[in-house]
Amino acid sequence: MKCDVILAGVGGQGILSIAATIGLAAVERGLFLKQSEVHGMSQRGGDVQSHLRISDSEIHSDLIPHGGADLIISVEPMEALRYLPWLAPEGWVITNSVPYINIPDYPDIAELKAALEDNGNTVVLDADSIARELGSPRSGNMVILGAASSFIPMPFEILEHAVQQLFSRKGEEVVDLNIQALRAGREAAGRE
């Protein structure tokens, strides 16, 4: 078993909470894991990505080879497309539909939508609205992770448990909201 994931977003959107959740789950399963992150300059509102690799055998490279990723999980629609060269032919893209516009030449939304549709194997969902409806507007990342969960070769309960571990310091309420977000994302993706 191996699962190579590119996590994508804009600096400040907090993609690392997704990485940390999958990482905790992988550790609990006794899997090998490598996860590279972006620190420094691009964290100031630039494009950021994280390469997350889990496997039941030793992992060599910290970077996922081009054409090798099983999944792109993105919290921003344009950023999802930036990493297509890394995606395997049978790989999937799971992305938030809500654009993060901090550049003057952000593309036309209809064009962006069309490019995502063109890609095939793509799940697009409005994670922000789903999170807001749950009363937890900051849990969009967990909604996205939930939407991607059926593509990650691990039992869903393991991910739930990881969310619990990750947020336990912040109290029961935060844990519950994030688990609800995770479940809502999984359901929403199932409807797609």
Partner 1 sequence: MQKLLLLGDEAIAQAALDAGMSGMYAYPGTPSTEIMEYIQASPRAAAEGVRREWSSNEKTAMEAALGMSYAGKRAMVAMKHVGLNVAADAFINSAVTGVNGGLVVVAADDPSMHSSQNEQDSRFYGRFAMVPVLEPRNQQEAYDMIFDAFNLSEKYKLPVLIRITTRLAHSRAAVERRDARTQNSSSLPSDPRQFVLLPAIARKQYRALTGLYEKLRTDPVLSGYNRFAKSDNKKTGIITCGIAYNYLLENLEQHHDDFPVLSLAAYPVNSDAIAELVESCDRVLVLEEGYPLIEEQLRGLLDRDVKVAGRLDATVPRDGELNPAIVAAAMGMKKDSGKEVPAVVRQRPPSFCKGCGHADVFSALAEVMKGYGPRRVFSDIGCYTLGALPPFNMVNSCVDMGASVTMAVGAADAGLFPAVAFIGDSTFTHSGMTGLLDAVIKDSPITVIISDNSTTGMTGGQQSQATGRIESICLGLGVNPDHLRMIIPLRKNHEENMAVISEELNHHGLSVIIAMRECIQTASRNKKAAAAKKSQTV
Binding site for partner 1 (CB under 8 A): 10-12, 23, 27, 32-47, 51, 59-69, 78-79, 81-82, 84-89, 91, 102-108, 111-112, 115, 118-119
CB closer to partner 1, 91 vs 146: 91
CB closer to partner 1, 32 vs 156: 32
Please answer whether residues 161 and 28 qualify as being in contact, where contact means their C-beta atoms are separated by less than 8 angstroms. yes
Closest distance to partner 1 from the beta carbon of 184 (Å): 26
Closest distance to partner 1 from the beta carbon of 190 (Å): 26
Give the contacts of 52 (CB within 8 A, at least 6 positions apart): 4, 5, 6, 7, 19, 22, 23, 33, 34, 35
Please answer whether residues 176 and 136 qualify as being in contact, where contact means their C-beta atoms are separated by less than 8 angstroms. no
d(CA 88, CA 68): 5
Phi and psi (nearest 5°) for 22? -65, -35
CB closer to partner 1, 66 vs 172: 66
Closest distance to partner 1 from the beta carbon of 42 (Å): 5
d(CA 2, CA 19): 16
Phi and psi (nearest 5°) for 2? -145, 150
Is residue 117 exposed (0-12), middle (13-18) or buried (19+ Cβ within 10 Å)?
Answer: exposed
CB closer to partner 1, 37 vs 176: 37
CB closer to partner 1, 65 vs 155: 65
